[in-house]
Structure 1
């Protein structure tokens, strides 16, 4: 039980961490890809707005050009001779002007080095792109591959032709982000090389998921280690609880045996009465309950007491049905069986027979008078299936797996009248689990119950 609980805790913790971690990694990669697309689209918009190039927005900025060149003066030419009378001018230079010049050199104007559309002055020289223009008749009228070395004119025309026929405005073609726009000359398609950005995004995605996987493995080791420490007090408490149940059950056997023996002596001396009969019924009920508690305590870890062997499940079920036919007949109930021959199971035969007894006893006890109980054992593929069906008083419709919980009762009053302990079906579930099977209960109409066991 504790091992299963710890395993479920580890699985739940790792699933939660996996979902959160991978969601974060996925979100970061989506943001990176979005930035890539946004940057590429901005570049294509810029080139389109300048008619197929970067224009003078940055490349033509004259802020860094020598003033002499701006005035049309050749920098190699010697400055004109200065008249002697000017050379003899004794007027001292304006120190304030020299100071201002120094300040301007230290603090250049704001427009120098300023970004354009979020890009630096180097962007036009770093960006590789090409353009292709189609005339109004759909023929290629111009192809400019001067700003890219990886694409020749034929490849550029091939790419542009496929994009032109796709009727898309923007998107990716291989490693190129393109944009289609209408101009006075026709339709222009701009392609921007995004190889470096795509490689960066891909590498980040691979590395991030790889690192997250290693991190998840490390977290798994830590969770396994610390879960052992966390569940140690629970395991000790559960062990003490099991030991208490076993000791208490064994301790009850002796007084119950004495009470039963004394009741028998009283009946020998005074004859049977409703009081002695009631005592015997309650002793039998307590004896059955203590035995079931012991069995349940031993089966909680999914282990069986005896050695597993290959035995005939069909013969075991036939043997178990026969003792219940008489009490069923006394209540005008009929047990119909459909048991396939030679169905074998690898398991502990004693506990499997105990499972059959519990299911048949439950069906006989809680079926309505003058009804039929159907027992069916068959195979489906490589699965062995047992079903026990019986009519009942009104019960909830649909899934009824809660009846396999300890001390659970669908109808408290009716179960008390029948003498049920509320443990039998819990033992049945433990027996099935110990044999790697699954048990379920279902009511299709609210007036019948089907218990199904699958191995």
Structure 2
């Protein structure tokens, strides 16, 4: 029961990748939407602030560079300010802009046609001296812009009373307010993005949960079915042996044994892949001389290689020790040899090479054979289960999972495997395995 629950809840690497992509897509989408909303909002806020400032600047220009209060309230307001607060019976027209001259700070600079400052009026500002005003006026003229920002001022270069004049309006409060809003909106956007990611993680788990359950059920079915298949296969083999004892040898019995062997091999590979997917594939790792193992497996397949008429070229060091399970690595080499025999071309010799640099922590084994119907480049599809390049493959062919098992074996050793066609006429399968490290931490390499 414990193993069943573990298998049911464990995520395969592709499911984990799917869940991560779900979170990334949700985060990217949220980031895009939040960025657009923040950009539009802050641009609109900036334009609104700028338009409001320009309206006041235009009012200053319209009044000849000097803001004045409305005639109906100017005198009484001036008296009220001088004497104290407004009397209770005094009423001011709310539509009259009488507060404007007392709520803004501005100055004007008179310019000649060459852009030189010839005069300045700083009566309505305290923080700017006459010299500073003249310098700002010349900067505004040099920019050749009708409107703009300099320091904390919004300016307009225009004509006032027939003279070229730069009108500067203090925008310190408005600009500070804008940047405060910008920082607040940016903080809210970041918090919103974090909230979306925080919600996307558990939602992604729930979204892929049915896939995890389905995949676990498929693995259990494959394991159980593979075990169940082997029982009738054993009965069939026993029956064939009995028939052979009673009636003698027959090509039909040989065909039965051959097909039973294929089915048994398929069942074994399916069980291996299922256990590997469940993470239950445990192997005793020790020192394995890969060079010695290559010679052993080639000798084991010598009859088949000779029957195929294949010439083998070896480029092997004296030895190359790797950290692995000898039985599984032997299975790996058998699978690669079998794949080359089934799908390779005997017109060119095989090349089996091992590279074990002393300074490297990995050993590379590669096998190259001639092959048809390939395009130059990587061929990761060859490691897919039940992949068949030739849909019309005869019953003598493989099952299409040999290289999938090879990849599982390499992954269990924390190695890498790659199938490449360098020229479109050959296939090179390269395997990287961890080198064996001595007690002092040094690898044996190819010494």
Same fold? TM cut 0.5: yes
Shift of 1:296: 0.2
| Residue number in structure 1 paired with 2:129 | 152
1:430 aligns with 2:408: yes
Contact 2:111/2:137, CA 8 A, preserved across alignment: no
SS at match of 1:142: strand
- The 3-state SS of whatever aligns with 1:412 is coil
Number of the residue aligned with 1:22: 31
Determine helix, strand or coil for the equivalent of 1:393.
Answer: coil
Q: Count residues in correspondence.
A: 409
Higher CA-based Rg: 1
Moved more, 34-43 or 180-189: 180-189
Residues 382/36 of structure 1: CA separation in 2 closer, same or farther (3 Å cut): farther
Matches within 5 A, 1:390-429: 390-395=369-374, 398-414=377-393, 416-429=394-407
TM-score (norm 2): 0.73
**Residue in 1 aligned with 2:222?**
245
Write the mapping of 1:213-292 to structure 2, written as runs, cut at 5 A.
213-229=190-206, 231-264=208-241, 266-267=243-244, 272-292=249-269
Task: Go from structure 1 to structure 2 and tell me whether the alpha carbon gap of 1:60 and 1:210 turns closer, same or farther (over 3 Å shift).
Answer: closer
Distance in structure 1 (CA, Å) of the matches to 2:184 and 2:286: 52
Larger deviation, residues 229-238 vs 270-279 = 229-238
Structure 1 residues 34 and 215: CA distance shift in structure 2, 3 A: closer
Q: How far off is 1:285 after superposition?
A: 1.0
Distance 1:171 1:318 in 2: 82
In structure 1, distance between residues paired with 2:69 and 2:182: 38
3 and 408 in structure 1: CA distance in 2 versus 1, 3 angstrom threshold: closer
SS at 2:352 equivalent: strand
- C-alpha distance in structure 1 between counterparts of 2:295 and 2:127, whole Å: 82
TM (norm. structure 1) is: 0.72
CA positional deviation for 1:3 = 4.7
1:357-407 Cα distance to aligned partner (Å, 9 max, x none): 322321221012322333344479766544433222224565532232221
Q: Which residue number corresponds to residue 294 of structure 1?
A: 271
Residue correspondence of structure 1 range 276-425 to structure 2 within 5 A = 276-302=253-279, 304-309=281-286, 311-313=288-290, 315-317=292-294, 319-339=296-316, 345-378=322-355, 385-395=364-374, 398-414=377-393, 416-425=394-403
Question: Structure 1 residues 141 and 65 mapped into 2: Cα distance closer, same or farther (>3 Å)?
Answer: closer
Cα distance change of structure 1 residues 158 and 348 upon mapping to structure 2, 3 Å threshold: farther
After TM superposition, give the deviation of residue 208 of structure 1 in Å. Answer: 3.7
CA 139–225 in structure 1, closer or farther in 2 if over 3 Å, else same: closer
1:241 deviates by 2.6
- Alignment correspondent of 1:8: 17
- C-alpha separation between the residues in 1 aligned to 2:330 and 2:243? 35
Distance in structure 2 (CA, Å) of the matches to 1:4 and 1:38? 50
Supply the distance in 2 between the matched residues of 1:390 and 1:271 (Cα, whole angstroms).
41
Residue 102 of structure 1 corresponds to which residue in structure 2? none
1:78 match: none
* Residues 290, 321 of structure 2: 8 Å contact kept: yes
Q: Which deviates more, 57-66 or 22-31?
A: 57-66
Task: Identify which range, 262-271 or 331-340, moves more after superposition.
Answer: 262-271
Map Cα deviations across residues 52-111 of structure 1 (whole Å, 9 max, x no partner).
576599854446568x99xxxxxxxxxxxxxxxxxxxxxxxxxxxxxxxxxxx99x8xxx
Q: Aligned equivalents of 1:156 and 1:341: distance in 2? A: 86
Give the match's secondary structure for 2:392. helix
Uncovered stretches (5+) of structure 2, i.e. residues with no partner? 1-9, 78-90, 434-447
Q: CA RMSD in A?
A: 4.1
Cα separation, 1, equivalents of 2:148 and 2:53 = 11
Structure 1 residue aligned with 2:80? none
1:345–1:369 distance in 2 versus 1, CA, 3 Å: closer
In structure 2, distance between residues paired with 1:215 and 1:265 = 75
Matches within 5 A, 1:22-171: 22-42=31-51, 45-46=54-55, 49=58, 52=61, 60-62=69-71, 64=73, 113=95, 125-162=102-139, 164-165=141-142, 170-171=147-148
Contact map agreement 2:119 2:134 (CA 8 A) in 1: no
Which deviations, in whole Å up to 9, do the C-alpha atoms of 1:203-235 show, x marking residues without a partner? Answer: 444444434444444444444445555555544
**Structure 2: distance between partners of 1:33 and 1:242:** 54
Q: Distance in 2 between matches of 1:134 and 1:270?
A: 122
Q: Please tell me whether the aligned partners of residues 336 and 374 of structure 1 are also in contact (alpha carbons under 8 angstroms).
A: yes
Unmatched segments (≥5 aa) in structure 1: 70-104, 115-119
